[in-house]
């Protein structure tokens, strides 16, 4: 958040396949029965909207969905991360407010750093992971590419709406490109994290490499912001580091 207090790939993971890990049911809200809506405008890999549509999960009580996953290789000015960005769709309680959102997620050891509106500046944080929990409006975000990077260096646009949560690993760039309906979200950070720094994706190669080292050393939290202990974030990120 800006206000103070081998090959490039993108993977959208939606469905729990046979033999995949199972996770506790969502304690924040009842699981919706409507299908996932994947909103992706660019695929810097061999994916396509038609192939991504095959990953629509069965949102049943017996099979809570895994979050969507987006992976980004470094660019000339953005470290990005081996850890994927995670998006959880429609997981906040009905009619969320800033207060109810904070209360729900702080139980899972992700602590509020502020309530924010649209931020158009490309930026990343090298010292902490970050979570956006959207409680009002909607926004389209650009992930993984800075303002002076070549468009061919990747990046993905995703849409977030009320009730959605996105988790951004340290080093991954992000900004809004548009927003509607008085978009607002709670920014949350793993308990014990230092105050975020702001890096605007325009540094030279040496400074970017130094920031990448810092970002890669940020520890994986013990708790998933939605599911708490034993939730998918911890498993997905640990597997990403191991590969």
Tell me the torsion sign for CA atoms 115, 141, 194, 24: positive
Work out the mean pLDDT of the chain and round it to a whole number. Answer: 82
Q: In this prediction, what percent of the chain has a pLDDT beyond 70?
A: 74
Identify the bridge partners of residue 141 per DSSP, sorted by sequence position: 158, 176
What integer pLDDT is reported at residue 36 of this predicted model? 29
What integer pLDDT is reported at residue 243 of this predicted model? 86
Lowest mean pLDDT among 11-20, 113-122, 206-215, 217-226: 11-20
Tell me the torsion sign for CA atoms 106, 113, 217, 202: positive
Cα torsion 83, 168, 124, 159 to 10°: value is 120
Which residue ranges make up each domain of the chain? 49-242
49-242 has CATH 2.60.120.10 classification: yes
User: Quick check: 67 and 21 in contact, CB under 8 A?
Assistant: no
């Amino acid at each position: 958040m800006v206000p103070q207090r081998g090959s490039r790939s993108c993977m959208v993971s939606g469905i729990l396949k046979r033999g995949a890990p199972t996770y506790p049911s969502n304690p924040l809200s009842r699981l919706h029965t409507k299908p996932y809506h994947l909103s992706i405008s660019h695929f810097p890999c061999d994916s396509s909207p038609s192939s991504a549509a095959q990953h629509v999960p069965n949102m049943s009580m017996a099979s809570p969905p895994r979050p969507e996953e987006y992976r980004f290789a470094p660019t000339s000015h953005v470290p990005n991360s081996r850890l994927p960005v995670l998006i959880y769709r429609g997981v906040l309680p009905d009619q969320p407010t800033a207060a109810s959102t904070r209360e729900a997620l702080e139980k899972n050891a992700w602590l509020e750093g502020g309530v924010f509106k649209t931020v158009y500046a490309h930026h990343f944080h090298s010292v902490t992971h970050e979570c956006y929990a959207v409680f009002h409006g909607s926004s389209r975000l650009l992930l993984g590419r800075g303002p002076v990077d070549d468009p061919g260096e990747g990046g993905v646009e995703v849409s977030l709406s009320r009730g959605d949560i996105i988790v951004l690993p340290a080093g991954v760039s992000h900004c809004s490109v548009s927003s509607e309906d008085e978009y607002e979200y709670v920014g949350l950070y793993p308990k014990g994290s230092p105050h975020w720094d702001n890096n605007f994706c325009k540094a030279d190669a040496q400074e970017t490499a130094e920031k990448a080292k810092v970002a890669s050393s940020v520890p994986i939290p013990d708790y998933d912001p939605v599911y708490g202990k034993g939730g998918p974030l911890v498993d997905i990120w640990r597997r990403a580091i191991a590969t």
